């Protein structure tokens, strides 16, 4: 009978299939490294590397960073991948303890996954990424041995239900822009929404990016892609969702690159690049970073969150109206 280990593996393979996997920035099209393995090959390498030398592995450092970045977006995909690359180490131990102590194997395996997830949550800050994998394994082993001598679980296993039906994240845009304009002190939500979009559209026009934005809008209107705003928010919290195609709303961050280099991120944060490197090595950088070869990539959304820059929700009509005015073509 399938257990939680099997569900983790099946769902990870269902998400990735045999497509190339990018552990550096999460999207092979945006990655500077051009050769990427299929998920099967990636998983085999991650399992082998984890057993041999996880604390010194750049691969595991990148995996942990991607897991943290996905967590910030409410996406458990890379957390699922991390578990899928760890649980093979749990199989033989859980089987042996189940046999020797006459405890249900499924109970032991569920407790091990729950313990690993608890460590994952507890090490989100202040722990270098390269240490996280071994801490998760150690905690899982300890709870398995404790479980063998007790009929009651040591920790809750409710968290593992998330891995039965994980969501597949949508791909984001890679177009570059330079800033987000926030509207403050406007009480009328409809007016604030319109002004926010028009100002951003005017900015994009002045920066010379609007032709690319227009292509993005055309894809939204033709339903060739979906806006990043959730369905619940589109139907309940946005003024024109009932009189306009709700898919025409999107987050301004959809127009930004997903990742930027560490030097640019350090400039935005107001620190030196060398200081950023020291914080990363010490596990004290304020948010996760991705590893791409010998360099680091910083999630723009994570940087925006750190700088308290709101990810404004805009409507295509407002963006285009603002761009039209900025170009001097308004009637």
pLDDT digits (tens, 9 = 90+) for 41-77: 999 999 888 877 766 678 888 899 999 988 888 889 9
pLDDT at 327: 77
Shared domain for 138 and 196, answered yes or no, is no
Q: How confident is the model at residue 10 (pLDDT cuts 50, 70, 90)?
A: very high
CA distances from 267 to 277, 289, 297, 307 (A): 13, 15, 14, 12
- Residue 269 domain-assigned? no
- Can you give the length of the chain in residues? 331
For residue 163, pLDDT beyond 70: no
pLDDT at 241: 52
Shared domain for 158 and 177, answered yes or no, is no
Q: How confident is the model at residue 39 (pLDDT cuts 50, 70, 90)?
A: very high
- Residue 293 domain-assigned? yes
The number of folded domains in the chain is 2
Q: How confident is the model at residue 14 (pLDDT cuts 50, 70, 90)?
A: very high
Shared domain for 29 and 138, answered yes or no, is yes
Q: How confident is the model at residue 179 (pLDDT cuts 50, 70, 90)?
A: very low
- Residue 323 domain-assigned? yes
Among residues 94, 128, 163, which one ends one of the domains?
Answer: 163
Tell me what percent of the residues of the chain surpass a pLDDT of 90: 19
- Residue 168 domain-assigned? no
Shared domain for 157 and 243, answered yes or no, is no
Shared domain for 232 and 322, answered yes or no, is yes
Shared domain for 67 and 152, answered yes or no, is yes
Domain extent, residue 50, equals 4-163
Shared domain for 199 and 330, answered yes or no, is yes
Q: How confident is the model at residue 240 (pLDDT cuts 50, 70, 90)?
A: low
Shared domain for 147 and 33, answered yes or no, is yes
- Residue 263 domain-assigned? no
Q: How confident is the model at residue 83 (pLDDT cuts 50, 70, 90)?
A: very high
Shared domain for 33 and 101, answered yes or no, is yes
Tell me what percent of the residues of the chain surpass a pLDDT of 70: 78
- Residue 274 domain-assigned? no
Shared domain for 323 and 197, answered yes or no, is yes
Shared domain for 53 and 144, answered yes or no, is yes
Among residues 134, 163, 192, which one ends one of the domains?
Answer: 163
CA distances from 71 to 37, 77, 121, 124, 245 (A): 23, 9, 10, 10, 29
Shared domain for 241 and 121, answered yes or no, is no
The tens digit of pLDDT for each residue in 122-150 reads 998 888 888 899 899 989 988 888 877 66
113 Cβ contact list (under 8 Å, min separation 6): 4, 5, 8, 83, 87, 140, 157, 160
The tens digit of pLDDT for each residue in 252-293 reads 888 888 888 899 888 888 888 888 888 888 877 888 888 877
Among residues 132, 163, 194, which one ends one of the domains?
Answer: 163
- Residue 19 domain-assigned? yes
3 Cβ contact list (under 8 Å, min separation 6): 105, 106, 109, 110
pLDDT at 227: 58
């Amino acid at each position: 009978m399938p257990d939680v280990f099997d569900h983790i593996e099946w769902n990870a393979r269902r998400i990735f299939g045999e497509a190339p996997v990018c552990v550096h920035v999460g999207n092979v099209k945006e990655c500077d490294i051009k050769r990427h393995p299929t998920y099967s090959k990636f998983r085999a390498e991650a399992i082998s590397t984890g057993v041999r030398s996880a604390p010194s592995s750049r691969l595991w450092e990148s995996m942990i960073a991607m897991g943290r970045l996905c967590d910030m977006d409410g996406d458990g995909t890379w957390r699922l991948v991390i578990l899928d690359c760890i649980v093979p180490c749990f199989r033989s131990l859980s089987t042996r303890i189940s046999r020797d102590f006459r405890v249900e194997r499924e109970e032991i395996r569920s407790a091990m996954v729950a313990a690993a997830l608890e460590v994952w949550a507890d090490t989100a800050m202040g722990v270098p990424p390269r240490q996280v994998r071994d801490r998760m394994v150690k905690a899982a082993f300890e709870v398995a041995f404790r479980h063998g001598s007790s009929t009651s679980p040591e920790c809750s296993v409710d968290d593992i239900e998330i891995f039965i039906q994980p969501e597949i994240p949508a791909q984001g845009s890679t177009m570059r822009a330079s800033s987000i304009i926030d509207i403050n002190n406007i009480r009328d939500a409809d007016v604030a929404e319109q002004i926010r979009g028009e100002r951003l559209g005017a900015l994009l026009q002045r920066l010379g990016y609007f032709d690319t934005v227009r292509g993005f809008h055309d894809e939204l209107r033709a339903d060739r892609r979906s806006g990043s705003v959730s369905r619940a928010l589109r139907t309940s919290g946005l003024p024109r969702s009932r009189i306009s195609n709700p898919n025409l709303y999107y987050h301004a961050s959809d127009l930004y690159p997903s990742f930027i280099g560490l030097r640019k991120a350090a400039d935005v944060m107001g620190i030196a690049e060398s200081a950023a490197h020291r914080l990363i090595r010490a596990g004290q950088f304020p948010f996760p970073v991705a590893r791409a070869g010998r360099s680091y990539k910083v999630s723009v959304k994570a940087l925006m969150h750190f700088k308290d820059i709101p990810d404004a929700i805009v409507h295509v009509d407002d963006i285009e109206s603002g761009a039209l005015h900025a170009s001097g073509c308004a009637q």
